[in-house]
Structure 1
Amino acid sequence: MRRRRGAALLVAMLTVTVVATLAAAALWQQWRSVEIESAERTRVQSGWILTGALDWARLILREDTSNVDHLGEPWAVPLQEARLGTFLAADPNSNMAAGDADNTFLSGEITDLQSRLNVASLAGAGVKNDERVESFRRLFELLGLPAAELARLAENLRFAEDINVDNQNAARASLPPQRVEQLAWLGVSPQTIAALEPYVTVLPSNEPRVNLNTAKAEVIYAVGRGISLADAQRLVTERERQHFRAVGDERKFLPEEGKFEPNGVSVNSQFFEVRGRLRIDNVVIEERSVVMRTGREVRTLSRERGAFEAFVPADGRR
């Protein structure tokens, strides 16, 4: 009798264990399905929102019909983090749940890429541009960066841009960089890239002109000739009072020997970077896009989405 009772108890315990295991497995599968569905829903919704934000930015740039670009225009005002519900409140056709909108925050900014030195202007068709190299030399010297890295950058970029590179130099040729962080392909150290990032960009053309109305003092100093950093800072101060309406307006604020590289400056821009940041609960999704404006047409040249470096909306002076 005792043996039968023990066997029955053992069978009962095994049955309970099997049932509990199956129930736990079913519950885990159900939880996993819910999490996957939730993640996919978040991914799709975030894609829609960030695409809408990019279209909004393109509309702002398209509606800017002036021939002068400066930091007092609507596109230069960053969007501080705001609850998505404030944007959707005016849209009666929105199908996003109120709870989702209240937990979703959007922020972003538009940056003038021609406020920086264009690395792509260092070489074109495999020919190094000594005038542009001089601008970068002044920037490297100002930032205390090694001149050897600039020489390596210019030389390797020349091989990367040369479509007729011979077999002897083919091994030295790398892919042309598309972003500043890819300058590492051309032999630039991470420390130098980090120091250069606020002042340089890589445009999809060798456009050399820097916008005097949006560039930082360090960039203005780099493209200048016969001017000091203090002179460049004075231009920045004066343009905050009244932006430059044409190239040449800055002459009255420069020393007599001061000038700029021929065709090296302008007061308008074609290339812009649009950054959007979406925060849904603890999930942060960021997107950056490069757009080109030609007249009333604003084309998207590239889009990247993912986790980038820490992004804080600018104060409109970038």
Structure 2
Amino acid sequence: MTRPLRQTGAALLTAMLTVALVASLASAALWQQWRSVEVEAAERARVQSLWVLTGALDWGRLILREDARSGGPDSLSEPWAVPLEEARLSTFLAADKNNTANSDTSASQAFLSGLISDLQARLNVTNLVDNGKVSEPALQAFAKLFEQLGLPPAELTMLAENLRQALDTRPENDAASLAPLLPQRVDQLVWLGLSPASLAILRPYITLLPVRTPVNLNTASVTVLFACIPSLDMALAQRLVSARQTVPFRTLAAVTEQIGQLTVPLNEAQQSVNSRFFEVQGRLRLDQNVVEEHSVVQRDGLEVKTLWRDRGASASPISPPTISP
């Protein structure tokens, strides 16, 4: 009786091992299949997001082109400055009121939002250097901004000097090899001596553009107005913001008339009522995935060209610009 019992136990053990092996193989095959499906779905969502956000960028460029066609100053009361609140993508794809998308389609589950903001509503870091030298007017504007925000003046001095060295590409410059890299994005200004904490505070008020640009007095915040206009105080800056909400300034002379005679007159190199550089933000929410794209465009006449595009995941909705300090 002992041998049959041993044989039965061995057979049972073998069967259990076989079942465990088959279950492990089946689980591995199921996991591989699930992984392949998830990778394919993620790639499909990425491609769809690229198409939609590219279309949103083209839409923003079209709005800016039509705005240029109408002429006049650039202000926050124009159509390009109105943010696009989150809306179902199928509402944009419907040909007419009778063409409704199926609720099960991917278009009906995708939501799009966007915003166009004026980059000349901020102080341009590139203005700090003019013809290979630190620009005194721009340095004074940034000094007022640093003082208003409570930032260390030493960082501004280091920022201006390092930017001057980074822009100095003359063959006779022996220190060119030791100069810091020239930043292309605002985030990269830490290369020039700004601390991450200071950069976080400065971000709403500064930009980094490829050429020197004046500040648009129709779109700048109170803090930027205070910084970019010499001898202007915060009370007068707030008065300018209140006045332009009724009627945008069409000329610099209209601004001067509003605030009175200044110690240093306004000039087109530092102040303006028009803009050429804009940021187009697009945000697409597809199921649980959220993708946000930031693009900088340059408008010259009716030509609106894209300078660069950055895309990445986002966890927060797009916030419209404010005119508060």
Please tell me the TM-score bracket, short chain as reference. Answer: over 0.9
Q: For structure 2, list consecutive stretches of 5 or more residues without a partner in the other structure.
A: none
Secondary structure in structure 1 of the residue aligned to 2:182: coil
Q: Following TM superposition, by how much is the alpha carbon of 1:67 offset from its aligned partner in structure 2, in angstroms?
A: 3.1
Measured against aligned partners, the alpha-carbon deviations of 1:69-121 in whole angstroms (never above 9, x if no partner) come to 11111100001111112112227999998431222111110000000110011
- Tell me which residue corresponds to 1:219: 224
Distance 1:298 1:150 in 2: 33
Contact (CA 8 Å) 1:108, 1:313: kept in 2 or not?
no
Give the 3 Å change call, closer, same or farther, for CA 108–244 of structure 1 in structure 2: same
What one-letter code is carried by the residue in structure 1 that aligns with 2:23?
A: A
Give the 3 Å change call, closer, same or farther, for CA 196–308 of structure 1 in structure 2: farther
Matches within 5 A, 1:91-130: 98-130=104-136
- Tell me which residue corresponds to 1:57: 60
Q: Following TM superposition, by how much is the alpha carbon of 1:312 offset from its aligned partner in structure 2, in angstroms?
A: 2.7
- Tell me which residue corresponds to 2:16: 13
Of residues 238, 255, 264 in structure 1, which corresponds to 2:260?
255
Of residues 73, 76, 85 in structure 2, which corresponds to 1:71?
76
Residue 195 (structure 1) aligned with residue 201 (structure 2) = yes
- Tell me which residue corresponds to 2:239: 234
Give the 3 Å change call, closer, same or farther, for CA 280–170 of structure 1 in structure 2: same
Query: Could you tell which deviates more after superposition, 221-230 or 85-94?
Result: 85-94
Distance 1:292 1:96 in 2: 38
Q: Percent identity, aligned pairs only?
A: 54
Distance 1:174 1:60 in 2: 38
- Tell me which residue corresponds to 1:23: 26
Contact (CA 8 Å) 1:110, 1:272: kept in 2 or not?
yes
Matches within 5 A, 1:124-139: 124-139=130-145
Give the 3 Å change call, closer, same or farther, for CA 266–294 of structure 1 in structure 2: same
Secondary structure in structure 1 of the residue aligned to 2:147: helix
Instruction: Name the Cα RMSD after superposition.
Output: 2.2
Distance 1:98 1:88 in 2: 15
Query: Could you tell which deviates more after superposition, 242-251 or 306-315?
Result: 306-315
Measured against aligned partners, the alpha-carbon deviations of 1:253-274 in whole angstroms (never above 9, x if no partner) come to 2133354553211111100000
How many residues were matched structurally? 317
- Tell me which residue corresponds to 2:320: 314
Contact (CA 8 Å) 2:142, 2:156: kept in 1 or not?
yes
What one-letter code is carried by the residue in structure 1 that aligns with 2:281?
A: R
Contact (CA 8 Å) 1:136, 1:222: kept in 2 or not?
yes
Distance 1:230 1:101 in 2: 49
TM-score by length of 1: 0.93
Contact (CA 8 Å) 2:103, 2:109: kept in 1 or not?
no
Give the 3 Å change call, closer, same or farther, for CA 96–297 of structure 1 in structure 2: farther
Distance 2:260 2:247 in 1: 19
Query: Could you tell which deviates more after superposition, 295-304 or 258-267?
Result: 258-267
Of residues 68, 85, 93 in structure 2, which corresponds to 1:88?
93
Matches within 5 A, 1:271-286: 271-286=277-292
Distance 1:313 1:94 in 2: 29
Measured against aligned partners, the alpha-carbon deviations of 1:104-149 in whole angstroms (never above 9, x if no partner) come to 1111100000001100111145321111111111111111111111
- Tell me which residue corresponds to 1:185: 191
Contact (CA 8 Å) 2:128, 2:160: kept in 1 or not?
yes
Contact (CA 8 Å) 1:125, 1:162: kept in 2 or not?
no
Give the 3 Å change call, closer, same or farther, for CA 47–258 of structure 1 in structure 2: same
- Tell me which residue corresponds to 2:170: 164
What one-letter code is carried by the residue in structure 2 that aligns with 1:101?
A: A
Secondary structure in structure 1 of the residue aligned to 2:73: coil
Contact (CA 8 Å) 1:156, 1:173: kept in 2 or not?
yes
Distance 1:193 1:260 in 2: 30
Secondary structure in structure 2 of the residue aligned to 1:290: strand
Contact (CA 8 Å) 2:256, 2:266: kept in 1 or not?
no
What one-letter code is carried by the residue in structure 1 that aligns with 2:197?
A: Q
Give the 3 Å change call, closer, same or farther, for CA 315–290 of structure 1 in structure 2: closer
What one-letter code is carried by the residue in structure 2 that aligns with 1:279?
A: R
Query: Could you tell which deviates more after superposition, 171-180 or 214-223?
Result: 171-180
Give the 3 Å change call, closer, same or farther, for CA 205–96 of structure 1 in structure 2: farther
Distance 1:151 1:157 in 2: 10
Q: Following TM superposition, by how much is the alpha carbon of 1:47 offset from its aligned partner in structure 2, in angstroms?
A: 0.4
Query: Could you tell which deviates more after superposition, 266-275 or 15-24?
Result: 15-24
Give the 3 Å change call, closer, same or farther, for CA 123–304 of structure 1 in structure 2: same
Contact (CA 8 Å) 2:88, 2:111: kept in 1 or not?
yes
